[in-house]
Structure 1
Amino acid sequence: MDLPQNRFKRRLLGREPLFGIWSTIPDPMAVEALAGAGFDWMVLDTEHSSVEVAEVLPLLQAAAPYPTDCLVRPVVNDTALIKRHLDQGAQTLLLPYIQNREEAEAAVAAVRYPPRGLRGVATTTRAARYGRVPDYVARADAEICLILQVETAAALDRLEAIAGTEGVDAVFIGPADLAASMGHPGQSGHPEVRDAILDAIDRLGAIGVPAGLLSQDAAFTRSCLDRGARFVATGIDMRLLVRAADALASAFRA
């Protein structure tokens, strides 16, 4: 049995924009429904949701038959935690709140096997197709996609050092936390925040690192794409559910 290829990583190297959606509802049926909607990728979020490590596995399995690629966001940049997500089959990780090059280097080491990194070796995991990929340890590193999330003003000051770390495949800009760190909590659409995001996209483009972000403002999303953003999330499952439910209830109350 061959090693599964990381389709998202390969597409990220291309020039077409990749559109995604945020998954926070910890239910395989919800993930399966989103996976069939036509998005290029989906974040399975364990940072701002109740999803635990073991609960990610059935979510990955639910999405597997569909062309939507899953990005798993662990709760923290931790070697032991990252190992567990990788062993159960996650190939693309989005690590939150990276602040400097040292943290970027730690993340790279966590997703790679020795001698290039620190990932613990186990050969009967789902990632290795339960031992049916005989050369998994030798080849796995090439199929892992590491995305680091930069979401504070201090981290933006160190953007080139973080993004330029060998082994980092892309950088994701977090507007909400960035806004708070810039003194505009709850105002991710503040002009200063938007200018900082667009500037970060320019800087990442200058060093050849793909930039991504989450924005539910269609006009700003298009501005980011025009500046060179390569992968953008355009919605969050819970917000879509709540807005649709509120609109339906309001329509009948009226």
Structure 2
Amino acid sequence: MDIKNKILNCFAIAFISLLFLFAFTWIIFDFQNSANALKDTWSIVSSLFGGISTLVAAYTAVLLFTDWRDNHNANIRKTLIEEALNSCNLHESNIFNSIEKIASFKEKLQLEIKFQKSFTKKNLFNPTKRLDDILLPIQDSHSSFLWGKNIIWKHLLCLEDKVPNEINISEVIERLQTDSRNISNIYLEIIKNTNIQIKIKKTDELNSMLANYLSFINCDIYLPLSSHRFEK
């Protein structure tokens, strides 16, 4: 039942109650052969009307306030859910771009191995400088990954007590932090390790972890929140 029907029912009940009191009081006075039956009835009903009107007004105010509060909270929750969903979309898009960069990075590392083998004199090139240039996209991808994860984490914190019980925000946040920390560690191993073969091996591991992470973002965060985005 919506707020309008509740208020109308409240006024209807109050009106019917007053009519009943009026008729009941009038019958009693008339039964007692009172000379001022109608006057006395109006006097009693009028005194009761003030009290009933006050109660009805107070009840109506409570209904209006509750309805306003519920709508306000629903709008806040909807906004927070929309922001969380948008951050998931952006994070996933950045990760897909990172996967492409990782594939390109792996190819460059494989070429770098062939390049270094083709030179026997170390003074003909600077391998450290070359690797630093190759690593720039991976460093950017790592920064983008951490930024996206932090945005989702902040939005989930805001939703912790504002979504249905079937979505355990605390568990989702814990999983988000654990998975992102493991992925970040792989990024750092790729960046800091000086062995190119190990770097190549870690890119495969990173891609596998990112694929699982994307599935988690979509299945455990985006889809559950999306199903509640229009609920009141």
TM-score bucket (shorter structure): under 0.3
Largest Rg, 1 or 2:
2
TM-score for the superposition, normalised by structure 2: 0.21
TM-score for the superposition, normalised by structure 1: 0.20
**Structure number with higher helix proportion:** 2
